[in-house]
């Protein structure tokens, strides 16, 4: 459960509002726990899925990653900045380098994972870093790595809900780290996937850009219509 009482329920999930990215970085990742980026898709996924709902409720911080969540919070009288998970991850990596934290970079394809690690070592000057791609055979390899290497921060780029389910299991064997699921963030970081152009970001239309560039996501995006209906009829 979130360790701070300043939360607001969205679809049964206690979301912590943040005034700015700076405030979010100060609060998130400073101690062991589990942060989850909440967007419309995840909020709805949890409504019919008790297992996933319980996993997200076991997180220590849920933050508003999607504009839909920011709007629902606002409707409930709570102001929050939008905290895009991929930007938060970059900020946390800068902070980890500054404070000499040990990071375990898990997930994405081998080449992406390796390039992300190289960039963090080279450009961010992150000294304590271990890594593993997201296509491993045995989960026990990861658990063993964590217990042996004892990182402070574990970021997992394997897409939802797999990454959150994996984190919940890893926390049982190694609770001492701060964990965060980061989806396609490493791909964006190394230039393998493109982030929406500035104008889409400014207009809060990153979801639309993603839909246009990956039309096969249309079925995932239908959920936005359901979310909009629930938002407008105060069902969230």
- Sign of the four-CA dihedral 119, 123, 127, 128: negative
C-alpha–C-alpha distance, residues 7 and 86, integer Å: 22
Cβ at position 189, least distance to ligand UDP in Å:
10
- Tokens for 228? 């909009």
State which residue, 17 or 134, has the beta carbon closest to ligand UDP.
134
**Closer CB to ligand UDP, residue 11 or residue 183?**
183
CB of 84 to ligand UDP, least distance (A): 11
Residue of closest CB approach to ligand UDP: 134
CB of 99 to ligand UDP, least distance (A): 26
**Cβ-based nearer residue to ligand UDP, 76 or 217:** 217
Nearest CB to ligand UDP, comparing residues 105 and 153: 105
Cβ partners under 8 Å of residue 148, min gap 6: none
Quick check: bond before 161 cis, omega within 30?
yes
Give the residues lining the site for ligand UDP (CB under 6 A). Answer: 107-109, 134-135, 157-160, 183-184, 186-187
Region label for 204, one of left (φ > 0), alpha (ψ between -120 and 50) or beta (otherwise): left
């Amino acid at each position: 459960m979130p360790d701070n009482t300043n939360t607001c329920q969205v679809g049964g999930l206690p979301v912590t509002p943040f005034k700015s990215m700076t405030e979010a970085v100060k609060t998130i990742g400073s101690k062991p726990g589990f942060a989850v980026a909440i967007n419309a898709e995840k909020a709805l996924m949890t409504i019919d899925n008790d297992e996933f709902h319980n996993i997200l409720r076991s997180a220590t911080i849920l933050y508003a990653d999607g504009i839909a969540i920011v709007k629902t919070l606002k409707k409930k009288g709570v102001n929050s900045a939008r905290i895009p998970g991929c930007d938060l991850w970059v900020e946390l990596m800068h902070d980890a380098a500054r404070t000499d934290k040990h990071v375990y970079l898990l997930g994405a394809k081998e080449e992406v994972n390796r390039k992300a690690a190289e960039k963090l070592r080279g450009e961010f000057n992150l000294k304590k870093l271990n890594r593993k791609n997201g296509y491993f055979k045995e989960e026990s390899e990861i658990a063993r790595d964590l217990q042996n290497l004892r990182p402070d921060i574990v970021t997992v780029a394997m897409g939802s809900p797999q990454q959150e389910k994996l984190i919940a299991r890893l926390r049982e064997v190694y609770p001492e780290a701060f964990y965060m699921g980061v989806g396609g963030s490493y791909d964006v970081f190394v230039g393998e996937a493109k982030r929406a152009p500035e104008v889409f970001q400014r207009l809060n239309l990153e979801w639309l850009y993603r839909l246009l560039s990956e039309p096969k996501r249309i079925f995932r995006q239908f959920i936005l219509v359901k979310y909009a209906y629930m938002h407008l009829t105060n069902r969230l």
